[in-house]
Amino acid sequence: MESNKKYWKGLEELKATPEFVENNKGEFAESLPIEELLSEAGLKTPTPRRDFLKAMGFGLGAVTLAACQKAPVHKSIPYLIKPEEVTPGVANYYVSSYKGYGVLVKTREGRPIKLEGNPACILGEGRLDAVAQASILDLYDFSKLKDPMLDGKEVSWNNIDSFVKGELNKIQAGGKKIRIVSSTVNSPSTNKVIADFVAKYPNARHIQVDAVSYTGILKANEASFGKAVLPHYHFDRADVIVSFGADFLGTWISPLEFNRQYVVNRSLASLKNKKMSRHIQFEAGMSLTGTNADVRIALKPSEEGIALLNLYAALGGGGSAPKLSNAKAATALSLVAKELLAAKGRALVVSGSNDIATQSIVNSINTLLGSYGTTIDIVNPSYQYLGNDADFIGLVAEMGRGEVDALFFLDSNPAYSSVASKQFTEGLSKVKLKVSFADRLDETAALCNVVAPVPHYLETWGDANAVAGYYTIVQPTINPVHNTRQAEQSLLLWSDNAIKNYYQYVKNNWETTILTGAGLTWKQLLQTGVVNAGAVTGAPVAGASAPTAVNAGNAGQSILAAAAALAKGGESATELTIYESVAIRDGSFANNAWLQELPDPVSKVTWDNYVALNPKYADKLGVTEFDLVKVEADNYSVVLPVLYQPGQAIGTASIAVGYGRTKAGKAGDEVGKNAYPFLKLENGSLQKAVSVKITPAGGKRELAQTQTHHSYEGRNIIRETTFNKYVQDPHSGSGSHGAEHPTYDLWPEHKQIGHSWVMAIDLNACTGCGACVVACNVENNIPVVGRDEVIRRREMHWIRIDRYYSFQDEKGTSLTEEDQIGELAESDNTLEDVTVVNQPMLCQHCDHAPCETVCPVIATMHSSDGLNHMAYNRCVGTRYCANNCPYKVRRFNWFNYWNDSRFDNYMNNEFTQLVLNPDVTTRSRGVMEKCTMCIQRIQGGKLQAKIEKRPLRDLEIQTACQQTCPTNAIIFGDRFDPNSAVSKALGNERTYYVLQELNVQPGIGYQTKVRNTVEAQA
C-alpha cells in the first residue's frame, strides 16, 4: 500500500458523522420492527401457541392443496405462416439508428429486446450510451396513446385526415400562417417531406427549436465562418483539451462519440506508448467531464467569459481583459495558455456556453491554436443540433398577435420545455389548428385539438444525417403496436403528395440521392445501415474570413456586460447554472424508469433533481443537505432540496432540466421540478446562467442517493498515480510492483479445465457515463425499484459505478496523508478542489468467494470456468452471502418488482414485460441475485462455437457492459488464452485486484487511474 490517499464517496463518510457510522453497522437502512412485533401482536397475546399452530396447519393444508393441483395447461401456438428468417429461440439483428447513431436491434420472435451499437457507425463504432440503450423501453411504454385524438376524443385516422385537410385548406385560403415546430430535424427524408408540405401550403414554415439549445455556437459560427452549423469535434486528435463548462463526456452535443474519442489518448494502448492527453476543465458545477479532468478549476459562470477573454489575450490574440478575481483560476489560465501554445494544432478549446459572444471568442481562440482542420472539422459539420432560440421566440410573438392559424408539433414539447411556456400557452389558445405528433398526451399535446400519435422509432422508417457525409437508415423492427402513424406519413397525406407511402418515399429519396453516390442498393443498405460518403477535404476555414480582433473585441464587450449583469447581485445573490443531467437529458425520456433510476454519475441521485450547492456555501446560506430551499429568479421560482456537491464553485448553484414533467407517464410525472423557465433569452440565445436568490423554504426532502450505500469501511479500494510517476515506473500506484500477492488455501485446489472467465477494467478509461449500468439492466431483466426503495438501499443494479472523491490542495497536488486531509476538511478549505475516480463495481467472481462458504443451502457455488454461480431456485433468502461479500455487490429481491402493483411505474403490465430478455429468468421475491457475467451470452457463444465445430474466438463473447462501453474500459475474456485481450490487459503493470489482501482471489483486475497533473508536467 504505497498510497495513503483517502477516498470518500460522500461527505458523511469523510466526516464520519455518527449517523453514517451507525447506519453502516446495520444490515438495513431502517431498523426492522422486531421489538414492535414482539411486544404488540406477538408473544404477549393470550394464545400465541394456538395461533401459531393454526397458521402452521393452514399453511400445511394450503401447500398440500397447491401441490395437488393438476399441471396448468400451457398452450403452444406456432406461427400460422412462419416468416422465413425467424427461428423461434434464435435472435435476429436488424440495423437501424437512434438519433444518428447506428444501432443493431436484437429481436426475438418479432419483438425488439435489446439495442447494440452498429460497428459500422462512425460515431459510436459499435457502442451506445445510456440514453440510447434505454430507448427500447419507450417502445413498450404503457403511457403512450393508442389511437389518434380529435378534441379529446379517440377517433379514426379518416376523421383526422378530413378534419386537418379541411382546416389547412381554409387557413391557406385565409392567408394566415402555418408553422411546423420541431426539434432538430437532420433526416433528409423528413426535411424533404416538410419541404413538399411547404410547397403545397406556401404559408407554412418550418421552425426548429431544441429544448437544450446550441444556438450560441451556431450563430457564432455563422458570424465567423458563414455557416450556422455545429463543427465536428475530434477529441482524439487533441493532446491538450481545455473545456469551459462543456460537459462533452456527459451531455454536450455528441457525448457517446466524444467519450470514445476522448479515451483514445488515455487508454491502455496509449499509456503503453507513454502518451496521454491532458484535460483541463473550468466549470461551476461538478460535471461528469469535470470528474475525469486532470485538473479541474471551479469557476463561477460570470467569470467563465472573462477567463476566455484572458486566455485569448494570453494566447496573443490581443484585446484587454479584466483580471480574474479567482486567483487560482488566473494562475491556472496562464499555465494553460503555455500548454496550449506548445500543443498548437493538437489543442482544442470548447465552451458549454450558449452565448454567441462567448462562442465567438472560443472560435477565435481555436483559430489562434490552429485547431480548425485538425481537432475541429468545420468543413464537414455536425447537424445534431440546428435549433434557433430566436425563431421560436419570434413564433410566440406571432402567436400572441394572432397571426398563426395552424401549428404542428413534431418531436417538440414547448409547453413544458420552452422558456416562454406561459406566453406560448396563451398564444396557443388563439391558434385554430393545433396538431401534435407526440407519442403520448404530453404537456403540449394536451393543449392541441388534434393529436396524431407517432410510433416509436423502432416501428418506423426514417433516416438521419448526423454529420456531413454520414447517413444512417431507420428501419422498423416491429409492426406498430398501437393505432399510430408516422408524422411524415401524415404530412404526406395532408399535403396530397404524389407518394402516399413514407416507406416508398424514403426508398425513392435514398435511391435517387445517397445510394447512387455510395454505389449501394437499397437491400445492401438495409444490411449495413449506414453510408459514409467520407469527409470532404477543403480549406480549414472555408469561405468566410477568420475571426478578427475587431469582432473579438465586440464579443469581449458583450461578454463583460453579461458577466457584470450576472454578478450584479453581489454577495446576496447566487449564480445558477442550468444543466442537462446525463440520464434524463432534456426531459423527453422522463418516463423511462431505467433512466430515472440510473444514478447521476456525479451526485448518485436517482428519481429527483435538486439544487447542488458547495457545503461551505450552503453553510453560509444557512441550509443543510436535503433542506428544501426556494430558488427565485426574476419571474420564476421553484422549491427543491439541497444537495451537498463537493467541487461546486462557491457562490453558485446548479439545477438540472428535464424534471418536473406533469404529463409524461407513470414513471416520469412529478419527479423533481421544471428548471426550463429559469433560462433567459439574451443577445439572441438562451443563457444557461442566471442570477437567483436562494432562501430556506422550510422542510426537508431526502434524496434517493445510491451512495454512500455499500460501504467499504474505508479500505483501500482505489489505486491512483500520476502520469509522470507512471512514466518512471509503470507499477507506480498499483501497490504491487509486479509481485504476485501471496495466496493460501484451506481447501484442495479446484482445477479448472476449459475456460477461465475474467475481466479487466481500466479505471483510466472509465469515464463513469453509466452506459454499462443500463445495458446490464436491459440484458439481465434487472428491476427498477423506485425512489423509496432506493432510499432504503435496495437498488438492484448488478453493476454500479462507485464515485470516489479525494482532495487537492491549493497547488493542485493531491493530498496523500490522512492528517493533511483532516486538516483541510476541518479548516476553511472551500471543498472546491476535489478530484474524482470512477470505479465500476460488480461481482468479482472470486476464486475464494466468501459468499459461497456461508450459504446454508449451497445456492451459490463456484463453477469450473471461474464463475460464481447463483441458483435462484435454491436460494432461501438468508442474505448471509450479501453480508459476507466484501464488495457489496449482491442484491436481494424484496418484492416481485416486475409484477407488483406497488411498482406500477415499471413493469407491472403485460405490454412492458415484452421487453424482458427471454433467456434470463425474472427473479422472484426473497432471492438473492448478482452479476452473472452474462452467463447466457457465455453459454450461447460456447454453443455457437460447438455447433460450428471450432475453438472459441477471443472477444466473441462480450458481456452487455463490455459491449456497450463507449470507452472500451471493460474487457472480458478467457484467462487461459494467453493471446486474449483480457490476458494482455491483466498482464499490464497497472493491474491490481481490489481487496486482494483478503485472499478472495477476485476474477476482475483493475488498472490504476492515471492523472496527468500539473506536477507531472513540471
Partner 1 sequence: MRSISLFFRSVAKSLFLVSSLSISIQAYSQSSSDANATAVQSTSGSAIAEPAAATAAAGDAGAGGAIFKQKCTSCHAIDRQVVGPALKGVTERRDNAWLIKWIKNSQALIAAGDPVAVKLFNEYNKAVMTPFPELSDEDINNILAYVDSEANKPAEAAGAAAGTEGAAAGAEKEGVSDWILGGLVVLVLVALFIILVLNRVIKTLERLLLQKQGVEVEEVESESTAIRFRRLAKNKKFVGFAVLLLVIFLGSLGWKTMWNTGIHQGYQPEQPIKYSHQLHAGTLKIDCQYCHFGAYKSKNASIPSLNVCMNCHNYVTASDKYNGETSPEITKIYKALDYDPQSKTYGDDPKPIQWIRIHNLPDLAYFNHSQHVKVAGIKCQECHGPIQTMAEVYQYAPLTMKWCINCHKTRDVNYKGNAYYDKIIAVHNQLKKGAQVTPAVLGGIECGKCHY
The residue (of 182 and 780) whose beta carbon lies closer to partner 1 is 780
In this chain, which stretch among 519-527, 881-889, 932-940, 962-970 interacts with partner 1, using CB under 8 A?
932-940
Taking the complex as a whole, the smallest distance from the CB of residue 940 to partner 1 amounts, in Å, to 9
Task: Indicate whether 527 belongs to the interface with partner 1 (CB under 8 A).
Answer: no
Taking the complex as a whole, the smallest distance from the CB of residue 865 to partner 1 amounts, in Å, to 6
Which of residues 814, 932, 996, 1013 is near partner 1 by CB under 8 A?
A: 932
Find, among 840, 598, 926, 711, the residue nearest to 29 by Cα.
711
The residue (of 144 and 937) whose beta carbon lies closer to partner 1 is 937
Which of residues 532, 624, 829, 921 is near partner 1 by CB under 8 A?
A: 921
Q: What is the DSSP string of 690-702?
A: EEEEEEEEEEE--
In this chain, which stretch among 196-204, 685-693, 806-814, 855-863 interacts with partner 1, using CB under 8 A?
855-863
In this chain, which stretch among 74-82, 229-237, 560-568, 650-658 interacts with partner 1, using CB under 8 A?
74-82
Which of residues 162, 334, 504, 864 is near partner 1 by CB under 8 A?
A: 864
Rounded to whole angstroms, how far apart are CA atoms 773 and 794?
Answer: 16
Task: Indicate whether 93 belongs to the interface with partner 1 (CB under 8 A).
Answer: no
Which of residues 34, 65, 81, 739 is near partner 1 by CB under 8 A?
A: 81
The residue (of 25 and 74) whose beta carbon lies closer to partner 1 is 74
Task: Indicate whether 80 belongs to the interface with partner 1 (CB under 8 A).
Answer: yes
Task: Indicate whether 57 belongs to the interface with partner 1 (CB under 8 A).
Answer: no
Q: What is the DSSP string of 206-228?
A: EEE--SS--HHHHHHHHHHHS--
Half-sphere exposure of 506 (CA within 13 A, CB side): 21
In this chain, which stretch among 73-81, 162-170, 220-228, 1006-1014 interacts with partner 1, using CB under 8 A?
73-81
Amino acid at 208: Q
Furthest C-alpha separation in the chain: 94
Task: Indicate whether 77 belongs to the interface with partner 1 (CB under 8 A).
Answer: yes
Which of residues 41, 60, 62, 90 is near partner 1 by CB under 8 A?
A: 90
Give me Rg for the CA atoms of the chain. 29
Taking the complex as a whole, the smallest distance from the CB of residue 877 to partner 1 amounts, in Å, to 16
The residue (of 450 and 870) whose beta carbon lies closer to partner 1 is 870
Instruction: Let me know if 893 is exposed, middle or buried by CB neighbors in 10 A (0-12, 13-18, 19+).
Output: buried
In this chain, which stretch among 438-446, 510-518, 784-792, 914-922 interacts with partner 1, using CB under 8 A?
914-922
The residue (of 401 and 953) whose beta carbon lies closer to partner 1 is 953
Taking the complex as a whole, the smallest distance from the CB of residue 779 to partner 1 amounts, in Å, to 12
Find, among 712, 695, 665, 661, the residue nearest to 844 by Cα.
712
Which of residues 951, 978, 979, 1018 is near partner 1 by CB under 8 A?
A: 951
Task: Indicate whether 955 belongs to the interface with partner 1 (CB under 8 A).
Answer: no
Which of residues 936, 999, 1001, 1017 is near partner 1 by CB under 8 A?
A: 936
Task: Indicate whether 738 belongs to the interface with partner 1 (CB under 8 A).
Answer: no
Task: Indicate whether 870 belongs to the interface with partner 1 (CB under 8 A).
Answer: yes
Which of residues 20, 163, 503, 872 is near partner 1 by CB under 8 A?
A: 872
Task: Indicate whether 173 belongs to the interface with partner 1 (CB under 8 A).
Answer: no
Residues counted in the chain: 1018
In this chain, which stretch among 549-557, 575-583, 862-870, 961-969 interacts with partner 1, using CB under 8 A?
862-870
Residue the block writes with cell 441521485? 605
Half-sphere exposure of 912 (CA within 13 A, CB side): 27
Task: Indicate whether 52 belongs to the interface with partner 1 (CB under 8 A).
Answer: no
In this chain, which stretch among 85-93, 371-379, 497-505, 814-822 interacts with partner 1, using CB under 8 A?
85-93
φ and ψ at residue 758, rounded to 5 degrees = -140, 175
Find, among 780, 935, 918, the residue nearest to 112 by Cα.
918
SS3 string, 426-483, reads HHHCCCCEEEEECCCCCCCHHHCCEECCCCCHHHCCEEEEEECCEEEEECCCCCCCCC
In this chain, which stretch among 118-126, 217-225, 252-260, 942-950 interacts with partner 1, using CB under 8 A?
942-950
Find, among 682, 560, 528, the residue nearest to 122 by Cα.
528
The residue (of 77 and 746) whose beta carbon lies closer to partner 1 is 77
Which of residues 47, 76, 512, 979 is near partner 1 by CB under 8 A?
A: 76
Task: Indicate whether 65 belongs to the interface with partner 1 (CB under 8 A).
Answer: no
Task: Indicate whether 942 belongs to the interface with partner 1 (CB under 8 A).
Answer: yes
Task: Indicate whether 508 belongs to the interface with partner 1 (CB under 8 A).
Answer: no
The residue (of 390 and 945) whose beta carbon lies closer to partner 1 is 945
Taking the complex as a whole, the smallest distance from the CB of residue 302 to partner 1 amounts, in Å, to 55
Find, among 449, 451, 425, the residue nearest to 439 by Cα.
451
Taking the complex as a whole, the smallest distance from the CB of residue 935 to partner 1 amounts, in Å, to 5
Enumerate the β-bridge partners of residue 106: 93, 114
Buried b (16+ CB within 10 A) or exposed e, 515-551: beebebeeeebeebbbbbeeeeeeebbeeeeebeeeb
Task: Indicate whether 876 belongs to the interface with partner 1 (CB under 8 A).
Answer: no
Task: Indicate whether 925 belongs to the interface with partner 1 (CB under 8 A).
Answer: no
Residue the block writes with cell 432560440? 389
Rounded to whole angstroms, how far apart are CA atoms 164 and 496?
Answer: 12
Rounded to whole angstroms, how far apart are CA atoms 877 and 924?
Answer: 11
Which of residues 1, 34, 71, 550 is near partner 1 by CB under 8 A?
A: 71
Task: Indicate whether 681 belongs to the interface with partner 1 (CB under 8 A).
Answer: no
Half-sphere exposure of 1008 (CA within 13 A, CB side): 29
Bridge-based pairing state of the strands 204-208 and 177-182: parallel
Which of residues 775, 935, 961, 1004 is near partner 1 by CB under 8 A?
A: 935
Contact 178, 172 (CB under 8 A): yes
465: left (phi over 0), alpha (psi -120 to 50) or beta: beta
Helix pair 301-312, 356-368: axis angle to 10 deg: 30
The residue (of 156 and 939) whose beta carbon lies closer to partner 1 is 939
Which of residues 479, 947, 978, 1018 is near partner 1 by CB under 8 A?
A: 947
Rounded to whole angstroms, how far apart are CA atoms 807 and 876?
Answer: 44
Residues that bind partner 1 (rule: CB under 8 A) add up to a total of 48
Rounded to whole angstroms, how far apart are CA atoms 916 and 781?
Answer: 6
Taking the complex as a whole, the smallest distance from the CB of residue 782 to partner 1 amounts, in Å, to 13
Cβ-proximal residues to 739 (8 Å cutoff; 6+ apart), any chain? none
Task: Indicate whether 856 belongs to the interface with partner 1 (CB under 8 A).
Answer: no
Task: Indicate whether 79 belongs to the interface with partner 1 (CB under 8 A).
Answer: yes
Contact 919, 939 (CB under 8 A): no
Task: Indicate whether 74 belongs to the interface with partner 1 (CB under 8 A).
Answer: yes
Task: Indicate whether 919 belongs to the interface with partner 1 (CB under 8 A).
Answer: yes
Question: Footprint of partner 1 on residues 445-504 (CB under 8 A)?
Answer: none
Task: Indicate whether 945 belongs to the interface with partner 1 (CB under 8 A).
Answer: yes
Distance of CA 360 to the CA centre of its chain: 29
Rounded to whole angstroms, how far apart are CA atoms 137 and 912?
Answer: 8
In this chain, which stretch among 309-317, 829-837, 858-866, 998-1006 interacts with partner 1, using CB under 8 A?
858-866
Task: Indicate whether 978 belongs to the interface with partner 1 (CB under 8 A).
Answer: no
Q: What is the DSSP string of 637-681?
A: EEEEEEEE-TTPPTTEEEEEES--BSSS-TTTBTSS---GGG-EE
Task: Indicate whether 873 belongs to the interface with partner 1 (CB under 8 A).
Answer: yes
Which positions touch partner 1 (CB under 8 A)? 67, 71, 73-82, 87-90, 751, 753-754, 859, 861, 863-865, 867, 869-874, 919-921, 932, 935-936, 939, 942-943, 945-947, 949-952, 976
